[in-house]
Structure 1
């Protein structure tokens, strides 16, 4: 899944001629107004000629020069914005793409840009968390994050929370399995002790019987000897 980190600055040229703005109709009766208008146009034309410059082989007036400066500034901002995304995004970020606008000097200037970044999950929750953090860093890297950048950062943060929850679940399951394993080992140990106890009981019984037999025999022998000695005396 890829989401674009972008910068967009739309630049519009608004040109309107004096004829279309003021109308083409002229009142022939108002000769003084016509003469005054012609004087103003002549003065304005002279000023425009003084303010014109040759830029990139094109003759531009003051208004066009101002438009060009704005376009150049936007171009720098757009490219710096996308470069920041790419630098912070590392291997998760793709190549930047730009939307261009032709300036009054017939040159193309970037007015919008985009860097795709992969919302890629890792093989483990820990890898997913690392990816999510890098995506957030890439989204918020420019000095002026766009609304889309904030959206990408929010999605990445959500992905990190989900990965954290999954990691906790896995740890809980592992702890439960370990507890059950220890319980089984304890039960096996108890069974072995019980079995050994049962196996040793017959031996203990035989030992007691043997001791009793020896004691009885000894007593009998002692008694017989006493009688014999009594008769002999």
Structure 2
């Protein structure tokens, strides 16, 4: 039986040798698989063409410019701003989102009075033109605000003119009344002197009292 054991021992050594080689091969395969997997994950970037790379750079610049543009509106707008900025996005060749347009809502309504509307309209214009590169829509909003300012100034001027005319009319009426009173008093004095000279003062005394 010992021989059998010896035979079995040799067989066992042979099997261990096979197992060792198999494990080594399996480890090599796993390493190869891991490397291949890593390369597969990195492949999308490596496969971007020069044109796609240029597109990505352009999208990055556009994204930064759009955010700067809207933040300029917000920084100047203050209490005119109605909510934060909203953006429109596009997906680049690298599957990332980039902002390509933005919008900020502001209050463009007139104030309660023409006097208050003038500074508000000026604030709207400053907010619309705050970015270094105002869009056509920005310039349109500024133009409307300028018209609103001009209208408010016209209303203020009209009110001031009306008030001035009323004050002048009242002053002229007072001056006319004062002049009439002066003329009446002068006429009374002349008439009184004439009566004295005629010697009939006593007879007209009751009438002179009306003028004295």
- Give the TM-score normalised by the residue count of structure 1: 0.56
Q: Distance in 1 between matches of 2:194 and 2:145?
A: 74
- Residue 44 of structure 2 is matched in structure 1 by 59
Q: SS of the counterpart of 2:123?
A: helix
Q: Which among 138, 162, 174 is matched to residue 127 of structure 2?
A: 138
- Residue 99 of structure 2 is matched in structure 1 by 110
Whichever structure has more strand as a proportion of its residues is: 1
- Give the TM-score normalised by the residue count of structure 2: 0.61
Q: Which among 84, 87, 101 is matched to residue 72 of structure 2?
A: 84
Structure 1: 5+ residue stretches without partners: 1-51, 213-233
Q: Which among 148, 165, 179 is matched to residue 176 of structure 1?
A: 165
Q: Distance in 1 between matches of 2:92 and 2:72?
A: 25
Deviates more, 1:95-104 or 1:191-200: 191-200
Deviates more, 1:125-134 or 1:82-91: 125-134
Give CA deviations for 1:62-81 in whole Å, capped at 9, x if unaligned.
Answer: 33443332222111111100
- Residue 108 of structure 2 is matched in structure 1 by 119
If asked which structure has higher relative contact order (CA below 8 Å, sep 6+), I would say 1
How many residues align? The count is 158
- Residue 74 of structure 1 is matched in structure 2 by 62
1:162 aligns with 2:130: no
Q: SS of the counterpart of 1:118?
A: coil
Whichever structure has more helix as a proportion of its residues is: 2
- Gap change, CA 1:205 and 1:183, over 3 Å in 2: same
CA RMSD of aligned residues (A): 3.2
Q: Distance in 2 between matches of 1:106 and 1:211?
A: 118
Q: SS of the counterpart of 2:87?
A: strand
